[in-house]
Amino acid sequence: MQVSVVIPVHNGARFLAQTLRTLLNQTAPPAQIVVVDDGSDDDSAAVARGFGPAVEVIRGRFGGAAAARVAGVERTAGDALMFLDADDLLGMDVLEALGGVLARHPDAIACCDWMRYERIGRTWQARPASCPPRRPGQTPLQAWLTGWYHPPCAVLWSRAAYDRSGGWDPAVLVNNDGDVTMRALAAGVDLVQSARGTSYYRRLPDGAVSLSGRRFTADGLASRLAVLDRLSARLDGAGRADATRRALAEAYGNVAGDADAAGEARLAARAREGDARHGGTRAWDWRRRRADRLRRRDRVRLLQPVPSTGAVPSEPAAADAPPDPP
């Protein structure tokens, strides 16, 4: 199994070396690593080039992570693909474990367990995955639509599965990885869980869920609706809509609730139409109330005084990745 890893980076020099070390220290290292520097102003390209011929570097202005990944795929030769963010980490046996899954399921997507990796005080610590669990009886697509997921660092694509998905869509502004994965699942690609391996999805302090995030803007909400509309049309065309109808209704309802809370009445109405078209849920009301709580939390944070004194915690050294649990 020849694995190619594509890493988009924009001003990611701070963590990139640690990410690359976790790849090169794998029990089954990838055959190819392609770092796609999307217009960085920092030393990202120099950090990547410091690893010598083991890392290929592409530089340009691609216009976002999805477009950078598309450019990276064009340079790959492996029969399996991983799309790793420039700050995420892999346990030492992740590629070996996921490659073993694809050896048995050559047209599938392989996934492994994952944890958040976030800064708490002065140290980076592994914490439980931050998505709801997969509900009993759900297919992978139903679960993905209702909030369960695996980040790119915990996923290895067969080339065949990636091709069937249609590839990354740079026009999608929010949740690019969910879009490409759900299109693959809708096309009948299998998602197979590995019994081994753990990846670490780094959560930066400014990446916390907030109403200021892009998913709550008009453009972000419209993009989320477009993803669901396209997915619904594909499932209808394949005669598979009935199996995912309730999950799609919930997904539309979640967008409706977020749009309501963001004051985007037109988009909320569109999303509720999608919810009703797929059978209807109360997800939009729960989501609206959740978004209202986020707004109140954000308002409290903005009103809190900023300390004028006090030491800033030092950045921990870029050491080895956290080990896999036994």
Virtual torsion, Cα 133, 251, 181, 267, nearest 10 deg: -140
177, 207, 237 - which closes a domain: 207
Residue 144, SS3? helix
185, 207, 229 - which closes a domain: 207
Q: Is residue 320 part of a domain?
A: no
- pLDDT band for position 281 (50/70/90)? confident
Contact 228, 274 (CB under 8 A): yes
Q: Is residue 324 part of a domain?
A: no
Q: Is residue 321 part of a domain?
A: no
207, 232, 251 - which closes a domain: 207
Q: Flag whether pLDDT at 306 surpasses 80.
A: no
Shared-domain flag, residues 146 and 219: no
The DSSP H or E segment spanning 198 is strand 191-203
Q: Is residue 168 part of a domain?
A: yes
Report how many domains make up the chain. 2
The predicted model scores a pTM of: 0.86
Q: Is residue 32 part of a domain?
A: yes
Shared-domain flag, residues 180 and 270: no
Distances (CA, A) of 318 to 20, 146, 241, 322: 11, 35, 47, 11
Q: State what percent of residues in the chain have pLDDT above 90.
A: 75
Shared-domain flag, residues 256 and 199: no
Shared-domain flag, residues 224 and 271: yes
Residues 102-113: tens digit of each pLDDT: 999 999 999 999
Q: Is residue 274 part of a domain?
A: yes
Two structure tokens written together for 288: 């609206």
Residue 308 has a pLDDT of: 38
Shared-domain flag, residues 158 and 39: yes
**Which residues does 137 contact at the CB level (< 8 Å), separation at least 6?**
none
Domain with 299 in it: 214-303
3-state DSSP: the chain helix, strand, coil percent, rounded to 5?
45, 20, 35
CATH number at residue 152: 3.90.550.10
Residue 169 has a pLDDT of: 97
Residue 214 has a pLDDT of: 80
Q: Is residue 315 part of a domain?
A: no
Two structure tokens written together for 112: 């492994």
Q: State what percent of residues in the chain have pLDDT above 70.
A: 84
Shared-domain flag, residues 166 and 196: yes
Mean pLDDT score across all residues of the chain: 87
Shared-domain flag, residues 222 and 201: no
Q: Is residue 54 part of a domain?
A: yes
Shared-domain flag, residues 89 and 238: no
Helix axes 283-303, 265-277, angle to 10 degrees: 150
Q: Flag whether pLDDT at 64 surpasses 50.
A: yes
Shared-domain flag, residues 149 and 283: no
Shared-domain flag, residues 103 and 248: no
The CA-CA-CA angle for residues 172, 177, 246, to 5°, reads: 85
| Secondary structure, 3-state, 51-116 | CHHHCEEEEECCCCHHHHHHHHHCCCCCCEEEECCCCCEECCCHHHHHHHHHHHCCCCEEEEEEEE
Shared-domain flag, residues 75 and 149: yes
Q: Flag whether pLDDT at 13 surpasses 90.
A: yes
Distances (CA, A) of 261 to 104, 226, 251, 269: 46, 19, 16, 12
Shared-domain flag, residues 194 and 232: no
Q: Flag whether pLDDT at 300 surpasses 50.
A: no
Two structure tokens written together for 195: 């019994």
**Which residues does 159 contact at the CB level (< 8 Å), separation at least 6?**
78, 79, 80, 81
Contact 98, 110 (CB under 8 A): yes
Phi, psi (degrees; rounded to nearest 5) at 62:
-100, -20
